[in-house]
C-alpha cells in the first residue's frame, strides 16, 4: 500500500466471525508524541522500558486504527534495519511502537494493526520482521507468528557503545521459506 490515505481491512485477531466488526487500519502520514499521547495519554514510560536507559530510533512507516469518532486508538510502526547474523548481513523490517488505548485493549486491535504492518512489509519484499518486547508481551507476538531469537542480540547505543539487548527479541518470516540464520546477532543501529 503506497497511498498514505488508503485503508486496509483488519485481518488480525478480533476480525473473525462472532467478534466485533473488523477494525480498519490506515497508513498514517505522521506519528509522533501528540499521536502517542492520543492513544496512551501522557505516560512518560508508555512502553515500560525507560528504566533500561537506552536510546531507540523512531519508526519510519506508521499504521493506525481510529475509533468511530476519529480518535487514534492503536498504532504499529516499521523501520527497515540491517543486522549481522552469524557474520552475514541481513535486511529486516523492525516492528515497534505497538500500542492500544487502555479502554480498547482486549479487542484484537494490536493483532489487527501489527498484521496490517506485516502485510505491508511483505509487499516490500522483506524476508524477516524483527521486534523487541517485554517478556510478558511475547505470547501476543507468538500468536502473530513471531518466534524468539535464541542468540543474544547486540545493539548500538550513542557514542558507539554496544550493549546486549535486555528485551526479548523475536522474528517472523515474511517470505515463504524464510528461516532465521544461526549465529550471533548484531543490530547495525540503535534499536527501533
Stretch 3-30: mean pLDDT, rounded?
A: 58
pLDDT digits 0-9 by tens, 83-119: 999 999 999 999 999 999 999 999 999 999 999 999 9
**Whole-angstrom Cα distance, residue 175 to residue 179?**
9
Grid cell digits, residue 185: 546477532
Per-residue pLDDT, 26: 98
Residue 6 C-alpha from the chain's centroid = 20
pLDDT, averaged across the chain = 90
Per-residue pLDDT, 7: 47
Grid cell digits, residue 144: 502473530
Least confident of 36-50, 139-153, 165-179: 36-50
In this predicted structure, the answer to whether residue 57 has a pLDDT above a threshold of 50 is yes
Sign of the CA dihedral 148, 57, 106, 44?
Answer: positive
Element (H, E) at 179: none
Nearby residues of 15 by Cβ (< 8 Å), 6 or more positions away: 9, 22, 23, 108, 112
pLDDT digits 0-9 by tens, 159-182: 999 999 999 999 999 999 999 999
Residue 70 Ramachandran class (φ > 0 left, ψ -120 to 50 alpha, else beta): left
Stretch 2-12: mean pLDDT, rounded?
A: 40
Per-residue pLDDT, 143: 97
Stretch 179-188: mean pLDDT, rounded?
A: 96
How long, in residues, is the chain? 192
Sign of the CA dihedral 119, 49, 157, 83?
Answer: negative
The residues that bridge with 76 in the sheet, in sequence order, are: 63
156 three-state secondary structure: strand
Per-residue pLDDT, 2: 34
Map out the domains of the chain with their CATH numbers: 7-187 (3.40.630.30)
Confidence of residue 45 (pLDDT cuts 50, 70, 90): confident
Amino acid at each position: 500500500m503506497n497511498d498514505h490515505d488508503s485503508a486496509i481491512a483488519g485481518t488480525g485477531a478480533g476480525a473473525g466471525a462472532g467478534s466485533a466488526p473488523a477494525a480498519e487500519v490506515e497508513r498514517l502520514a505522521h506519528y509522533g508524541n501528540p499521536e502517542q499521547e492520543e492513544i496512551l495519554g501522557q505516560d512518560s514510560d508508555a512502553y515500560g522500558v525507560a528504566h533500561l536507559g537506552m536510546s531507540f530510533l523512531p519508526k519510519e512507516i506508521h499504521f493506525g486504527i481510529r475509533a468511530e469518532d476519529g480518535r487514534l486508538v492503536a498504532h504499529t510502526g516499521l523501520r527497515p534495519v540491517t543486522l549481522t547474523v552469524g557474520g552475514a548481513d541481513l535486511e529486516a523490517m523492525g516492528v515497534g511502537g505497538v500500542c492500544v488505548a487502555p479502554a480498547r485493549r482486549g479487542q484484537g486491535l494490536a493483532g489487527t494493526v501489527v498484521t496490517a504492518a506485516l502485510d505491508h512489509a511483505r509487499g516490500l519484499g522483506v524476508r524477516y520482521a524483527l521486534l523487541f518486547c517485554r517478556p510478558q508481551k511475547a505470547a501476543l507476538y507468538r500468536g502473530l507468528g513471531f518466534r524468539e531469537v535464541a542468540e543474544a542480540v547486540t545493539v548500538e547505543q550513542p557514542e558507539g557503545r554496544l550493549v546486549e539487548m535486555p528485551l526479548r527479541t523475536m522474528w517472523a518470516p515474511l517470505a515463504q521459506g524464510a528461516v532465521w540464520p544461526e549465529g550471533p546477532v548484531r543490530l547495525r543501529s540503535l534499536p527501533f
